[in-house]
């Protein structure tokens, strides 16, 4: 089975995303023949099509949270996934506040796919994989840590959050751990992870490989590859994502 992750974007933080210093198309996950598009931010549909893929091949769109750098293209992607609303196809996973007040997911097309409301401690089967959301993250809007389990490999994703101790126990037996590492230094009252938060998480979770992504201009200035090689001194291999990067999971 061809299991892989492809990054359609690696930008994080307002300046980096809304000036497109890095792209922000989200993450394509292909696991055991099931395809999930995670966090379709601005430009996601274009990146998907430019990569030679079709949105009709998506089995699920997983939206971690409603902020625009993660959700801006969700309606375009879902419209394309459902053949312009003509065909019931696929599922969309998102927290309540992405569906309810001031919804980022438009209502008119919702009958054309499975509407899944994420919550802490739940899991669902989609195609050949299991999607689980074990922990509510600390972010100004609803957001959950998520893991995707295929037949032979697993991927964990910690989206935007303040660092807090339960992150160290959020996953066990995970092959790849993707961590949104927005800043170099933690900032007060900004609910994002920084480089310094990565070590305690990976040292406790012990993934086979960790990937940092969602970079602000601060991280980009400091050179993400250099940061990743510093972090790898922890004993866990850390790589810095770049736009278009593909990781073959069968080789890990």
Note the residues at the interface with Zn ion (CB under 5 A).
67, 160
- Give the sheet arrangement for strand 91-95, strand by strand: 114-118, 91-95, 60-62, 34-38, 24-31, 4-9, 246-248
Q: 69, 12 in Cβ contact below 8 A? A: yes
Q: Give the shortest CB-236-to-Zn ion separation in angstroms.
A: 25
Q: 78, 92 in Cβ contact below 8 A? A: yes
Q: Give the shortest CB-170-to-Zn ion separation in angstroms.
A: 17
**Three-class SS state of 15:** helix
Q: Give the shortest CB-180-to-Zn ion separation in angstroms.
A: 8
**Three-class SS state of 75:** helix
Q: 230, 237 in Cβ contact below 8 A? A: no
Compare residues 67 and 209 and give the one whose CB is closer to Zn ion: 67
Q: Give the shortest CB-69-to-Zn ion separation in angstroms.
A: 7
Measured between its terminal Cα atoms, the distance across the chain in Å is: 14
Compare residues 47 and 67 and give the one whose CB is closer to Zn ion: 67
Of the candidates 171, 165, 164, the one whose C-alpha atom is nearest the C-alpha of residue 146 is: 171
Compare residues 188 and 251 and give the one whose CB is closer to Zn ion: 188
Neighbouring-strand partners of residue 179: 158, 212
Residue with tokens 């007040």: 101
Half-sphere exposure in the Cβ direction for 209 (13 Å, CA)? 15
Q: 155, 174 in Cβ contact below 8 A? A: yes
Compare residues 15 and 111 and give the one whose CB is closer to Zn ion: 15
**Three-class SS state of 80:** helix
Q: Give the shortest CB-143-to-Zn ion separation in angstroms.
A: 7
Q: Give the shortest CB-110-to-Zn ion separation in angstroms.
A: 23
Compare residues 138 and 199 and give the one whose CB is closer to Zn ion: 138
Q: How far apart are CA 204 and CA 223, in angstroms?
A: 25
Compare residues 22 and 67 and give the one whose CB is closer to Zn ion: 67
Q: Give the shortest CB-65-to-Zn ion separation in angstroms.
A: 6
Compare residues 6 and 67 and give the one whose CB is closer to Zn ion: 67
């Amino acid at each position: 089975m061809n299991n892989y992750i492809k990054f359609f974007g690696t930008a994080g933080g307002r300046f980096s995303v809304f000036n497109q210093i890095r792209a922000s198309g989200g993450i394509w996950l292909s696991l055991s023949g099931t395809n999930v598009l995670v966090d379709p931010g601005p430009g996601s549909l274009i990146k998907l099509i430019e990569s030679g893929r079709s949105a009709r091949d998506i089995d699920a769109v997983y939206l971690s949270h409603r902020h625009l750098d993660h959700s801006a293209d969700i309606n375009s992607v879902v419209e394309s996934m459902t053949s312009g609303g003509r065909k019931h196809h696929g599922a969309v996973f998102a927290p309540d506040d992405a569906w309810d007040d001031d919804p980022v997911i438009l209502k008119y097309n919702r009958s054309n796919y499975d509407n899944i409301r994420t919550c802490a401690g739940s899991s669902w089967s989609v195609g050949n994989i299991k999607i689980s959301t074990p922990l509510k993250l600390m972010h100004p809007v609803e957001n959950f840590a998520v893991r995707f389990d295929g037949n032979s490999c697993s991927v964990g994703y910690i989206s935007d959050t303040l660092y807090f101790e339960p992150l160290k126990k959020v996953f066990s037996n995970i092959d790849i751990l993707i961590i949104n590492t927005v800043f170099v230094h933690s900032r007060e009252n900004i609910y994002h992870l920084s480089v310094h938060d990565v070590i305690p998480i990976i040292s406790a979770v012990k993934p086979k490989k960790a990937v940092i992504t969602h970079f602000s201009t601060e991280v980009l200035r400091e050179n993400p590859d250099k940061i990743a090689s510093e972090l790898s001194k922890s004993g866990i291999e850390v790589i810095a994502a770049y736009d278009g990067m593909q990781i073959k999971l069968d080789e890990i």
